[in-house]
Structures are given as structure tokens and as C-alpha cells.
């Protein structure tokens, strides 16, 4: 959400805001300390159009299109409210019950990541073939009957096998591990990809994978794998970005938040076996920080 400009009077600002609303541009106006009124536009994709509309408004704020906007906006809002109320009587929103983003068709990157995880699961016998996994771990292992050993300092990466910094996210140990991670990857990844862009999801996945894999390696060595560190990064981003920037179109329902946080704590208890808890925690913290900083909340003026 960004400021596209300022208007001197409240009446002009609110009239222009109503006009933008009628054009399908979600916005809000806020009074500044200097007495002027800032016009905020929620969607990055609509900034150019909104800026052009502001220039036209400044040229002739008394145009009948703008003078009629408040009444027309109130009428449209009333009709939309009635429509929403009627719709809620006809069905139960799955997002409220389950906390998932019903209606988001998986984007190309989400589908590609899911396909790679499934292919690796089939190729490795769902994490049971050490020869396959050895090429995907962040560090190669020497496996003998007596022990499993490795050289510290990421020697494979330093020799040029940079992909190892990311490929552990494709490894899954067991069917439930795979299904759980791919369910949330599809849900969260599709939401980000459809509401923002494939590039935005790509950056989130790569940075989350890199940070969580390095953190887990530092904590426990190279014997780990799974998409859950990335999933927690995506969850943290959606959760906090949605709270501080509703116009971003991202939404983490309360059931989703509850499930993800309870699972995080449950894994830390050790009751469900060895889990990459460091990757979970680092992914969540990274995603939350990214969501907060990208929301623009710190840059917004305070009245």
C-alpha cells in the first residue's frame, strides 16, 4: 500500500476516494500532521491508474463525476453488503472453518515445487534410499555399517555444488511428512502466487530455503530434509503481511494460525520423533519479519 499524493481538504480527499472506489481501486485517505490528506492505494498494480486519476481530479475537482461519487459509492457499498450477507446464508466459507485459501488455483511455481517433491519421493522411496538422498543433502555423507560421517564446512558447496543449499527442501521422510508439507505449500504458495506474483513466491521460497537449511545444518548437521522450513516461512509472511496490509489480499484464518503454531510447539516437545525444529523456527521468524517489513506499516504516517 502506497501514498499516491495529497489533497488539501477532507471533502476533496473523501470525494476522490469514493470516486476511486467506484473505479474498483481500493483506497483509504488519512489526515497528516500538516493538515493535508494522504491518499493511499492498496494494490501495487493500480498505482499508475490511480495516480493518473488524481491528476485529472486536481485539474477539475468540481466535475460532476466527482460530485456524484459519494452518493453512488454509498449505494454500491450497500448493495455489496446485502450481497455478502445473502451469500453467507447460502454456504459456509471453507476458509473460516479450515483456514485454507479456497479458490486459489495453484500457480506454475507451486505446481512445479509439488511435482519435484513427489518425483524425489518416488525416486528415493519416500526418503529410504540413502544413495539418492546423498546427492540432495546439504552435505554429502559417508555411510558405513558403523557410522554416518561427513566433513564440516560445507565442502561440497565450496566445490561448486551450490544446489545443495536448496535441495534438502525436496527430501521427505515418509508419506505423512510429504502430504502435510505439500498441502500447506499448495495452499500458501498458491495464495501468494495468485495475489502477488510468481516472482514474489520464488524469492520467498529461495530465501526461506537458504536460511532454514543453513540454520538447521548449523544446529544438527546435514541429516535433515523437508519443505516445512519453507512452509513456515510462507505462513509467517502471509500471516503478518495480511494483518498489517489487508490490501495485499493475503489471509491466514484463525484455524490456520492455530494449527501451524500448535504443530510448531508439538514438534519441539520431541513426542513425534526427530524434527527439523530449527528450520521451523527460523522459517517462521523470517517470514514474519518479511511480511511486516513489506507491509509498509513503518513508512505510513501517524496521525
pLDDT tens column, 11-53: 999 999 999 989 989 888 888 888 899 999 888 888 999 999 9
Top-level CATH class of 98-298?
Answer: mainly alpha
Gyration radius of the chain's alpha carbons: 24
Please tell me the distance from the alpha carbon of residue 165 to that of residue 294, in angstroms, as a whole number.
25
Q: How far is CA 75 from CA 19, 50, 80, 130, 140, in A?
A: 13, 22, 9, 65, 65
pLDDT score, position 254: 87
Domain with CATH 3.30.70.2350 in the chain: 2-91
Contact 226, 171 (CB under 8 A): yes
Predicted local confidence at residue 85, as pLDDT = 53
Q: Can 172 be counted among the known catalytic residues?
A: no
Distance separating alpha carbons of residues 152 and 140, to the nearest angstrom = 10
Task: Catalytic residue, from 11, 280, 294, 295: name it.
Answer: 280
Question: Is residue 228 among the annotated active site residues?
Answer: yes
**Predicted pLDDT of residue 183:** 92
- pTM of full prediction above 0.75: no
Residues forming beta bridges with residue 30, ordered by sequence position: 38
Domain 2-91 belongs to what topology?
Answer: Alpha-Beta Plaits (3.30.70)
Q: What is the pLDDT of residue 43?
A: 83
Ramachandran category for residue 226: left, alpha or beta (phi over 0 → left; psi -120 to 50 → alpha)? left
Give residue-wise pLDDT tens across range 202-223.
Answer: 999 999 999 999 999 999 999 9
Residues in contact with 191: Cβ distance below 8 Å, sequence separation at least 6, in sequence order: 101, 104, 238, 250, 251
Closest CA to 136 of 166, 103, 113, 112: 166
Burial class from Cβ neighbours inside 10 Å (0-12, 13-18, 19+) for residue 119 reads exposed
Name the segment(s) of the chain with CATH classification 1.20.1540.10. Answer: 98-298
Which of 190, 208, 228, 295 is flagged as catalytic? Answer: 228
Under-70 pLDDT residues of the chain: 1, 83-104, 145-146, 299-303
Specify burial of residue 33 (Cβ count, 10 A radius: 0-12, 13-18, 19+): exposed
Q: What is the pLDDT of residue 214?
A: 96
Q: What is the pLDDT of residue 95?
A: 42
Amino acid at each position: 500500500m502506497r501514498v499516491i499524493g495529497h489533497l488539501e481538504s477532507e471533502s476533496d480527499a473523501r470525494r476522490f476516494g469514493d470516486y476511486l472506489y467506484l473505479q474498483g481501486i481500493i483506497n483509504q485517505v488519512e489526515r497528516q500532521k500538516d493538515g493535508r490528506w494522504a491518499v493511499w492505494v492498496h494494490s501495487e498494480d493500480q498505482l499508475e491508474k490511480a495516480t493518473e486519476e488524481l491528476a485529472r481530479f486536481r485539474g477539475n475537482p468540481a466535475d460532476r463525476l466527482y460530485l456524484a461519487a459519494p452518493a453512488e459509492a454509498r449505494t454500491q457499498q450497500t448493495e455489496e453488503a446485502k450481497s455478502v450477507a445473502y451469500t453467507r446464508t447460502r454456504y459456509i466459507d471453507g476458509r473460516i472453518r479450515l483456514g485454507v485459501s479456497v479458490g486459489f488455483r495453484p500457480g506454475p511455481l507451486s505446481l512445479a515445487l509439488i511435482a519435484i517433491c513427489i518425483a524425489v519421493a518416488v525416486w528415493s522411496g519416500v526418503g529410504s534410499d540413502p544413495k539418492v538422498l546423498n546427492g540432495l543433502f546439504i552435505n554429502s555423507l559417508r555411510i558405513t555399517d558403523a557410522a554416518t560421517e561427513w566433513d564440516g564446512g560445507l565442502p561440497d558447496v565450496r566445490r561448486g555444488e551450490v544446489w545443495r543449499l536448496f535441495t534438502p527442501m525436496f527430501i521427505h521422510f515418509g508419506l505423512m511428512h510429504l502430504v502435510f508439507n505439500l498441502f500447506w505449500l499448495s495452499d500458501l504458495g498458491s495464495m501468494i502466487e495468485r495475489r502477488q506474483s510468481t516472482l514474489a513466491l520464488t524469492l520467498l521460497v529461495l530465501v526461506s530455503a537458504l536460511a532454514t537449511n543453513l540454520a538447521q545444518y548449523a544446529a544438527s548437521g546435514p541429516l535433515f530434509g523437508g519443505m516445512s522450513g519453507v512452509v513456515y516461512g510462507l505462513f509467517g509472511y502471509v500471516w503478518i503481511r495480511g494483518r498489517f496490509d489487508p490490501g495485499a489480499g493475503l489471509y491466514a484464518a484463525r484455524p490456520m494460525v492455530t494449527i501451524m503454531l500448535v504443530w510448531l510447539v508439538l514438534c519441539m516437545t520431541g513426542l513425534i520423533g526427530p524434527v527439523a525444529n530449527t528450520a521451523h523456527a527460523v522459517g517462521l521468524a523470517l517470514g514474519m519479519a518479511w511480511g511486516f517489513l513489506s507491509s509498509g506499516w513503518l513508512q505510513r504516517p501517524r496521525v
